[in-house]
Amino acid sequence: MLNRRNFLTAAVGVAAATGLAACAKEDDSSSTSSSGGGGKKITLGFSQVGSESGWRTANTDSVKSAAKEAGYSLKFSDAQQKQENQISAIRSFIAQKVDVIAFSPVVVTGWDAVLKEAKAKKIPVVLTDRSVETSDDSLFVTLVGSDFTDEGRRAAKILEKVLEKAGHKGNVKIAQLEGTTGAAPAIERAKGFKEVMDADHKDDWKIVVSQTGDFTRAGGKQVMAAFLQSNPDINVLFAHNDDMAIGAIQSIEAAGKKPGKDILIVSIDGVKDGFVAMSEGKINAIVECNPLLGPQLMEVVQKVKDGETVERWIKTKESDFMQDQAKDALPTRKY
C-alpha cells in the first residue's frame, strides 16, 4: 500500500537521455477544443504499461476517450511492459515540455532519477493504476487507482465462500499465478491474500506453488501446465488476473480436469472474458479491479494544472462477484 511503502533509493540502469526507445510506441491525439476553463489546452504525456491483458486494453481506451472528452492534447506511449521504455517515454515528455505527466508504472522501484528530472523541470507527475517506491514523497502528486492489498484480502475472503459453496472438505492446496514480478498489483495482491490466510487458515490452506504468469493468457497457460505436472493434487487456483486464469483453464482442461470443479478458481479484474468463463462455470469468483480510470485521471490533471490540492491516493470503487451473479452481470459489463 502507498502509505506502508519503504522508501528505497533506486538505481535506474538506463542510459537513454531523451526520445523514446525504438520499441516503444507513441501516438499523439489532439482534440481541437480547449480545456475546461477556456485557457490553454493541457498537454498530457501518458506512459502506459503495455497491452498485456483485457484490463489494460479497457484502461487504455478509458484514458484516450477521457482525454478527448476533456479536450486535452494526449501524448500516449505504450511501454510494452518494459521499464526502460517507460523511462525513455517520460524523458521524451519532459523534453517536449508537456504540462503534466501521468504513468502506470510497470514495476514499483527504479523511478527516482527520472522523477527528479521531471521535478527539476517543474512538470507534475500523476501515478495511475500502480504505485511506486520513491526516496522522496514529493516526486509524484497523487495515485489514482485501486487498493491491491485489499483486492488480495477480498480474494481470500471470497475463496472461503467458494469452498463452502462447493462443499469442500479437507486441505486446500493453492496454486498462485502471480502478476508481473516487481509490479505493485503482484506484490500487494499476494500480500493481502497471505494476510488472510495466515490469520484465519494457517492449518487448512497452503500455497503449494506460486510463480509469475506476467499477467498474460500465454503466461497463465504455460505456468499452469507446469504447476499441474509438479503438483497434480492442486485443488484451488488464485490468479492475479482474469487473463492468466483463462490461460490456466486451457491447461487444466488439457490435463483432463474440470476448471471450477476439480480446481476451484478465484481471479481478479472482472473483464468480459472473465465473466464469460464464470458464466460457463469455469471461474468460481472474481474480485473486481476497475480499469475505467480515465475520467478521474483527467479531473485530477486539471486540478494539478490549476495548482489545486488533491488527495494523495484517489481510490477506485469495486465489487466482488460469485459465479451465480455472472449471467446477470455479463450483459452490463462495459469491457
Give least dist CB 179 to ligand AHR, A.
6
* 55 belongs to the binding site for ligand AHR (CB under 6 A): yes
* 26 belongs to the binding site for ligand AHR (CB under 6 A): no
14: closest CA among 91, 76, 98? 91
Give least dist CB 106 to ligand AHR, A.
9
Residues 6+ apart with CB under 8 A from 295: 62, 66, 69
Q: What string marks each residue from 174 to 193 as x (binds ligand AHR by CB under 6 A) or -?
A: -----------x--------
Q: Which of 140, 193, 205, 215 binds ligand AHR (CB under 6 A)?
A: 215
Give least dist CB 41 to ligand AHR, A.
29
Q: Which of 268, 278, 297, 304 binds ligand AHR (CB under 6 A)?
A: 268
3-state SS track over 205-245: EEEEEEEECCCCHHHHHHHHHHHHHHCCCCCEEEECCHHHH
Residue 266, helix vs strand vs coil: strand
Give 42 or 158: the residue with its C-beta nearer to ligand AHR: 158
Binding to ligand AHR (CB under 6 A) within 108-167 occurs at 129-130
Q: How many residues lie near ligand AHR (CB under 6 A)?
A: 13
Cα–Cα dist 110/90, whole Å? 13
Strands 264-269 vs 205-212: parallel, antiparallel or unpaired = unpaired
Beta bridge partners, 13, equal: none
* 269 belongs to the binding site for ligand AHR (CB under 6 A): yes
Give 79 or 289: the residue with its C-beta nearer to ligand AHR: 289
Write the CA distances from 177 to 68, 195, 247, 259, 326, integer angstroms.
36, 17, 11, 15, 22
Q: Which of 144, 158, 289, 304 binds ligand AHR (CB under 6 A)?
A: 289
Give least dist CB 233 to ligand AHR, A.
28
* 105 belongs to the binding site for ligand AHR (CB under 6 A): no
Residue 147, helix vs strand vs coil: coil
Give least dist CB 103 to ligand AHR, A.
12
In one-letter notation, the amino acid at residue 250 is Q
* Residue pair 57/285 in contact by the 8 Å Cβ criterion: no
Q: Which of 48, 212, 241, 267 binds ligand AHR (CB under 6 A)?
A: 241
Q: Which of 20, 43, 52, 220 binds ligand AHR (CB under 6 A)?
A: 52
SS3 content of the chain, % helix, strand, coil (to 5): 40, 20, 40
Determine the interface stretch with ligand AHR among 1-9, 15-23, 49-57, 83-91 (rule: CB under 6 A): 49-57
Cα–Cα dist 320/197, whole Å? 18
- Interaction site with ligand AHR (CB under 6 A): 52-53, 55-56, 129-130, 185, 215, 241, 243, 268-269, 289
